[in-house]
Amino acid sequence: MARQAVRDGIAVVCATPHIRDDHDVRIEELPARVAALQQELDRLGVGVRIAQGGEVAQPAADALSDEHLRAVSLDGGCWVLLEPAPGPLADELTALVERLAARGVRTILAHPERHAGADLIARLRELIARGCLIQWTADFIANSDRDDPDAFVLGLARGGLVQLLASDAHSSHGGRPVVLSGAIERLRGVCSPEQLEWISERAPAAILRGEEVLPPW
């Protein structure tokens, strides 16, 4: 997977194991595991940096201690990748974003394309108004209605609702690859160069530095 990232021009990969009841992820072990992986990649000459993180499921978030929330934040900053509960986005997710913000935790919404209801756009705007960033799966952006210049996903991008991209890759042997370039190329026709630079470079770098991030559009 790291070699896939290198081929696609990706310099940093966030390791985001699922933090939820059906996965036995031991948060206290993450620093040593990330360090061991980084050491092996460096030994093999694979030029990717691994950033520690987690993908926190909506039902699990409130029960995490402040220490564990910091441990699963992206690169130890203030940003946490939040996985919505199954089904369309709902009021409880917005309430959770507010509760986490009160604890000093900023949120990034994972794969909203899997949680689309009739009011998806309104829900996304509501989350953005509360400081949440919206991260789409790159494969979805690249391939959804690929030949349609009026594809729904391109309309979302025109409306400023595509703010971050992620591979959401789980394996090098199948499924989604560690690739962002296809999505970036798809967005090139509807986003300005400055907007694309923000989505692909400036915002991710600021997130990993633990800075406040506000889209400039």
3-state secondary structure 108-131: EECCHHHHCCCCHHHHHHHHHHCC
pTM of the model: 0.96
For residue 128, the model assigns a pLDDT of 97
For residue 71, the model assigns a pLDDT of 96
3-state secondary structure 132-167: CEEEEEHHHHHHCCCCCCCCHHHHHHHCCCCCEEEC
Q: How many Å separate Cα 78 from the centre of its chain?
A: 14
Torsion of CA 157, 160, 161, 166, to 10 degrees: 70
For residue 174, the model assigns a pLDDT of 87
For residue 91, the model assigns a pLDDT of 97
Task: Compute the distance between CA of residue 89 and CA of residue 160 in angstroms, rounded to an integer.
Answer: 18
Q: In this structure, are residues 185 and 172 in contact, taking their beta carbons and an 8 Å threshold?
A: no
Q: How many Å separate Cα 68 from the centre of its chain?
A: 18
Half-sphere exposure of 184 (CA within 13 A, CB side): 17
**Residue 19: Cβ-neighbour burial (10 angstroms; 0-12, 13-18, 19+):** buried
User: Along the chain (217 residues), what's the average pLDDT of each consecutive run of 10 residues?
Assistant: 97 97 96 98 98 98 97 97 97 98 98 96 97 97 88 92 97 92 95 95 97 92
Closest CA to 110 of 129, 91, 138: 138
Of the CATH numbers 3.20.20.140, 3.30.530.20, 2.60.260.40, 3.30.465.10, which one belongs to the domain with range 55-208? 3.20.20.140
For residue 203, the model assigns a pLDDT of 98
